[in-house]
Amino acid sequence: MEGTLKGTLEGTSAGTSEGGRIVVDETAVIARVRAGDPEAYAELVRAHTHVALRAAAAFGAGADAEDVVQSAFLKAYQSLGRFRDGAAFRPWLLRIVVNETRNTVRSVVRLRALAGREAVLLGAEPLIPESADPAVAALAEERRALLLAALDELSEEQRQVVTYRYLLEMDEAETAEALGWPRGTVKSRLNRALTKLGGLLPGLLPETGREGGEEHE
């Protein structure tokens, strides 16, 4: 179930693959910044701007996404003294991005309306190779639209965990750190979200039973 959903959700993201990300030695860069080399921080900004913008968009920043991300990077820079040595920078940064997004759109009940989320996450429609089967391409677009609509039927916590795991392509440990949840909670809430999505989209996703185990708050 998770593998099938991952493949479908990945089609909605506008980012690069894991292999295409800018990789930096975060520990070394942060050490340089703390040692008095503020220009080194630009390396972290370049490496994480894309995923930060995607996070801001996914959680409702809309046209304010760039401003939200700039503010988040500034706050992260100002808070580097409290950053835990050895921790992953990306989940820590995204928590700041999400908090900034919520501050910006705190009057919005939903994290994101379907049309707005689809426009920002998908961006410009990719060019379809001439060799592609138009029917297959149309079906893929229809599935993505259905999936994005189904996300609005999830609870806020369920949307959060699905967004982090699939739209932002974070692994379980990063998701747990970004959300501030135990890994067991991530597993159980993700399982419930996938189960609900499977019920909402029976023709798109295979049904799955809930894995054993309760949440550990």
Q: What CATH class does 18-104 carry? A: mainly alpha
Looking at residue 136, its amino acid is V
Whole-number Å distance between alpha carbons of 7 and 166: 9
Mind listing the pLDDT tens digit of every residue in the chain (217 residues)?
555 555 545 444 443 334 455 678 999 999 999 999 989 999 999 999 999 999 999 888 888 899 999 999 999 999 999 999 889 999 999 999 999 998 887 644 444 444 455 555 555 444 444 555 556 556 666 777 777 788 888 898 998 998 898 888 899 999 999 999 999 999 999 999 989 988 888 766 544 444 444 445 5
Listed in sequence order, the residues at least 6 apart from 186 whose beta carbon sits closer than 8 Å to its beta carbon are 161, 165, 172, 175, 176, 179
- The CA distance from 141 to 101, in Å, is 28
CA atoms of 147 and 138, how far apart (whole Å): 14
pLDDT in tens, 171-204: 999 999 999 999 999 999 999 998 998 888 876 6
User: Could you tell me the pTM of the whole model?
Assistant: 0.66
* Other CB atoms within 10 Å distance of the CB of residue 129: 7
